[in-house]
Structure 1
Amino acid sequence: MFDAPVETWYLWVGLALASTTAVGLAATLPRAPPPDAPSAAATVDSVAASAHETTGVHPLAAEETRVGPYRLWLRDDGATGHATFAYGPVTPVRRDTALWDVLQGTPPENAFSAPAEFRRAGAAARDRTPTWRSREQLTVRRVSWEGVDVTLVG
């Protein structure tokens, strides 16, 4: 009695618009959850909070990583996860630098001529704008040398 007849054209147009909208919405949903940045940040925090020199390694399941002094971002398939460090600032480290050598296990006194040089290199690394880099794992090392305490992340 109050039903619309199936032959009406506006019923078919409305159904087509509703279907198109539903397909468009489904296509914009992410295919996978964002990478687990909080667990990587927890590894950094556990090393940074240590009272002793410590090293930690966290495997990454993300295509790219960006590390800043106070935050970590992981990106994979268009989804981005991020987390803030509870114990910051940390010192992001780039490859082929003296800080990278220290991160990999070289004592700071072998990589730098003086603690002041080590402090300046750490400050310069923290002042750089974070960039996206491909990484398979995150290495974290807390280092103390004659009053210079840094947490290196690379």
Structure 2
Amino acid sequence: MPARSASHRLRIGRWAEPNRIYLLTANTLEREPVFRDYGLGRIVIHQFRAIEKCGIADSLAFVVMPDHFHWLIQLHRGSLGQLMCQVKSLSVRGVNEKSGRTGSLWQQGYHDRALRREENLVKLARYVVANPLRAGLVKRFGDYPLWDAIWV
């Protein structure tokens, strides 16, 4: 099935609830490892911070991996679609400008998972930020530069 159809199906039934916690994931186009360049990864983090400053969502934990990101948020207003559109469009503009790239950076769509109230957020945040360790990118937890969590 074409990626476009799969992307469309991801949006069916998607609903965002204010003050709900979500785990969001987005992949680079063709899983290109763009963010091996940590400076380019900082551009994505800057967009996460901008969302927070606008009061749209609070960042609870995130990691920007070479070809994707995981972002644990508490949504305050707007929709997940609007939030992700803003992060992806502004980050592609910044990445392309800084790197001399052109065109798309992100795969269409994104994955979201609404968390249940009883889920252990600290455990999930630690799982998110430990991605570079599990992927073999670093030997020690704190050695990877593109992550943050309010609990760690």
Q: TM-score, normalised by structure 1?
A: 0.24
Larger % of strand: which? Answer: 1
- Relative contact order higher in (CA < 8 Å, ≥ 6 apart): 2
Q: TM-score, normalised by structure 2?
A: 0.24
Q: Which has the larger radius of gyration?
A: 1
Larger % of helix: which? Answer: 2
